[in-house]
Amino acid sequence: MEQLSIEDAYLYTPSVHEDERGTFREWFRGDRLSEVIGHRLNLAQANCSVSRRGVLRGVHFADVPPGQAKYVTCVSGAVLDVVVDIRVGSPTFGQWQAVEMDDRLGQGLYVGEGLGHAFMALSDRATVVYMCSESYAPGREHGVHPLDPDLAIAWPADLEPRLSRKDAAAPTLAEAREKGMLPVYDECVAFYAKMRGTGL
C-alpha cells in the first residue's frame, strides 16, 4: 500500500498468481487499507463503469462531511486514473497525480474523502469497478472541469477526450473555489480524525 504524492490517496499493488488456468489476485484487502487510513472502508455502494477509448470521466468529488471515499480498480482494458487535491488550504492544493491502471497488474487505488477523481479510457473498451463509502447523493456531488488549463492534467495527447455534458459544463478549479464549492482541508482532516476515532 503506497501513499501517492497527494496525502490520503494510496495505491495497492497485489500479487498476481498465474498458472495454466489463468490468474488470481486479491484486488482489495480491507485490513491493509485500514492500517494506512486508520479505519475500515464503509461499503455503501459499488459501481461498474464501462468506457470507450478516450472517454474522460471526472473530476468528481462530494461535500465533506460525509464526502465519498472510493476504492478503484480496472478489471478490463486500461485507464489513466487521476487524483486531484482540491481541498482548499492543503499543502498540495491544485496538484494531481496520474496512475495507469490495467487488468494485468490489477492495482487498487484509494481516494480519500475531499479529493477529486477522474479517469480516461486508454483501451478500446475499459471497465472500472469502484467501491464507495457513501451512496450517491446528487445534491452533494460536484465536479471540476478535467481540461482546466490551470490544473494542466497531462491526459494522453493522442486521444480526443470524450466528456459528458455535465463534465463539459463543470467549472474550473478557480471558479469552483470562488463559488465555495470545494472541500476545506482542515475540515477534511478533522473528518478523517473522527473516522479514525470511531474505528469504522
Question: At 191, phi and psi to the nearest 5?
Answer: -65, -45
Question: At 44, phi and psi to the nearest 5?
Answer: -105, -25
* Residue-by-residue DSSP string for 114-181: T-EEEEEE-SSEEEEEEEESS---GGGEEE--TT-TTT-----TTS--B--HHHHTPPPHHHHHHTT-
> For the packed helices 185-198 and 30-37, what is the interaxial angle rounded to 10 degrees?
120
Active site residue 110: no
Single-letter amino acid code for the residue at 154? A
C-alpha cell belonging to residue 87: 481541498
User: Catalytic pick from 12, 71, 110, 130?
Assistant: 130
Q: Rounded to whole angstroms, how far apart are CA atoms 6 and 136?
A: 24
Active site residue 39: no
Residue pair 198/39 in contact (Cβ under 8 Å)? The answer is yes
User: Catalytic pick from 10, 60, 71, 145?
Assistant: 60
Tell me the catalytic residues: 60, 130
